[in-house]
Chains A and B, each alone.
Chain A
Amino acid sequence: MATHEPTRADNSRSRVRVELGERSYDIRFYHDEPDALACDLAPYCPERALIVSNPTIWNLHGEALASALTRAGVDFIVELIGDGEEFKTLAHDLALRGFPVIVLERGDIASGTSGRTHGLLHSGSRYCVTDGEAAVECIQENIILRRIAAQCIEFNEGFFVALDEEDLNYAPQFVEGCRAAGIPVHPLTPQQALSVEPNLNPNLLAAYRVPDGAFDPLRLALSFAATAKRNGAVFLTYHEVKGLILRAGGVAGVIALNRHRGQEVRLEADLVVNATGAWAGIIAAMANIHVPVVPTPGVMVAYNRRLINRVVNRLNTPGDGDILIPQRRMVVIGTTSFETPDIDYIPVDENQVEEMWRKAVELVPAVANAEQRGAYMSARPLIGSGEAGRSLSRTFKSYAHRQNDGVSGFITITGGKATTCRLMAEKAADMVCEQLGISAVCRTAELPLDSYRTYYQSMDGDAIE
């Protein structure tokens, strides 16, 4: 198989990757020498070559290459892959693009923020008035995740319900925001909403239906990790990064502690990606770089009855306790928003738990008859710009530290939401390619993920007993 794409560093030449068995070869050629390339390729293509390109590149160079290959007697077919629109996700993307990847996790998979999310597959409508960019990202990724990660998602819908006049006044801008972001939104009368969700507050004044859903946070992370593993990524869980290997003005690897054994390991790398969410600022500081991430925790409370089948949102600007989600035999209310200096241990504040209960009872009064099953806290990694947490964007940002800070071999991606994890990975992987001068196409939007259970099928098996 040959992959024909130009290098980013030098647009006067192209790189052709030739994969033969387990090995691959990169052949670079100048655009005015396609015949020489074709002659070089011919001995390696005894039967038929598969040329993978994206439409843009193929339109630029495909005709010349195809003519030259034909003249050299090389039989070939062309596959064009369309220009499509966190860490397990990034490993999956990079592994698919052919990179050798090592993932380090301080704990087990999803033991940080991604495991403790609310579990809401956002339609984007929560943000459509206040954060249009995040809303568009959410609806696009919502559609993609339904396709590639169906195994982890309950395909519920969501209702936005108005409980007072202020909520009703918000409705026109909400509907307009949804339409602007491309989010399907359907108005319902209170009677229509109550007929399918009988536990809703009976005093609701209006409702809108949107394509929200609920996902299983651990299993979503595992399915990305499982697929990355099958494509060659190596996962070192219980490995805590203790420092970065700094060399010649750049990052050349990491120093980590194998927590199972209490032993330090050094891992050299061409590029280190800091995809540590709320901890991104801490890791970046190891290279004396400031990343403006603001860890913004919120509390979530689970109750022991499944009182709704659809996500229920308060029809108003994003606020505390405005989303109630059905999960398994529970409903989960969330969340709050505050800042904390220590994100390794964030105690669950009992006042916030009580506040969540009040908010949940407003949306679904039957919560008053349920029992609390769990209460938990996790820190969102919001991109800081000196504003309060609620007003910070839910979008994400990647930082190429070579350009921004003069530190090579190191990039950071942070911000975002679980719903947009795949898109974040795509952008980060694009940046990896750019930094390494390699061009490879993202395929994660098209390929369904492996079963999450297969993550465990190739454990290293270094158990004690």
Chain B
Amino acid sequence: MNNIRWTIDMEISRQRQGEERHFEVFRLEVDPNEYVLDAIERVWAFHDRSLTFRHACHHSTCGACAMLVNGVEKLTCITPIRTVTADGGKIRVEPLRNFPVLSDLVVDMSSLYSNMEKTNFSQVAPLDQSYLPYEEKPEADEVERLVDCIECGMCISACPGAATSASYLGPAVLAAAHHVYLETGASCLLDLVDSKDGVWRCHSAYECSEVCPSNVDPAWRIMDLRKRIIHQRVSSWFTRKERA
């Protein structure tokens, strides 16, 4: 057991409804192996009970605690303090971008959840996939599977395209549509994403795949959706339509 203690400053975005946003600094003594969410919870418990933040499972299965940590999207429950600062350093914590802020670090996730529902994507492994593949050894290139998406919203926060339109479906939703389309072939899913607020809003920045804590690759899925949409359009030019 190590007894290393660091002193760090937690610089936390604060905002009540009806008030201006500002930052407050809380000095903490921490074990660097603790997680950022532990430090946030300790600020709430021992420094300021008015601090609001989302959290639930504390081990990356629910996606509730995604925030900006030093300007980068992180799932705070699995982000060790030692990976984002040093002894005597600072951790700046802000709410996710591209979501309405409810207060402090809490954002309104309703658009993400509502749009995910439209894709009919089953986020928990269905019965026939319940026995998921074993992962005995860490692989350099891990298998990507959408069932690992925890709907944390980090991909939308990191997406430059999402900053340009509040009605953009966003990477997680497009990836879900892609997954279900591959499974079912339902063309209504292509209709859902074939719009300026669908796949064509994407600027190919690939930030979504970069920040995903679950190894999902929405960027690839969006590109593949575009390919399939174009293929469908081109095919339709050479397909005689049935007369009514």
Contacts and interface: CB of A to CB of B under 8 A. Distances in A.
A351 B3 CA distance: 11
Contact of A111 (B31, B56, B116): B56
A309 B17 CA distance: 45
Interface string B121-146: 01111010011111111100000000
Contacts of A461: 100, 108, 110
A463 B102 contact: yes
Interface stretch (B35-43, B82-90, B224-232): B35-43
Given A260-B17, A350-B1, A451-B117, A330 B59 contact: yes
Interface stretch (B47-55, B189-197, B202-210, B233-241): B47-55
Contact of B125 (A154, A307, A344, A462): A154
Contacts of B16: 260-262
B62 A328 contact: no
Contacts of A465: 100-101
Contacts of A304: 138
B1 A119 contact: no
Interface string A255-292: 00001111000000000000000000000000000000
B59 A154 contact: no
Interface string B88-118: 0000000000001111001111101110110
Contacts of B101: 463-465
Nearest to A464: B101
A193 to B, nearest CB: 15
Contacts of B56: 108-111, 115-116, 217-218, 221
A366 B148 contact: no
A239 to B, nearest CB: 11
A456 B58 CA distance: 21
A302 interface: yes
Nearest to B147: A328
B31 A374 contact: no
B186 interface: no
Interface string A321-335: 000001111101000
Interface in B32-77: 33-35, 38, 41-42, 45-46, 50, 52-64, 77
Contact of B148 (A219, A329, A375): A329
Given A156-B131, A216-B62, A462-B102, A261 B108 contact: no
A238 B136 contact: no
B17 A238 contact: no
A459 B99 CA distance: 14
Interface residues of A, number: 68
Contacts of B78: 373-374
Contact of A305 (B55, B62, B136): B136
B117 A307 contact: no
A306 interface: yes
Interface in A209-244: 216-219, 221, 238
Contact of B132 (A300, A306, A354, A378): A306
A302 B60 contact: yes
Contact of A374 (B15, B58, B112, B147): B58
Contact of A151 (B77, B124, B133): B124
A181 B90 CA distance: 54
A122 to B, nearest CB: 17
Nearest to B16: A262
A376 interface: yes
B214 interface: yes
A348 B134 contact: no
Contact of A259 (B38, B103, B123): B103
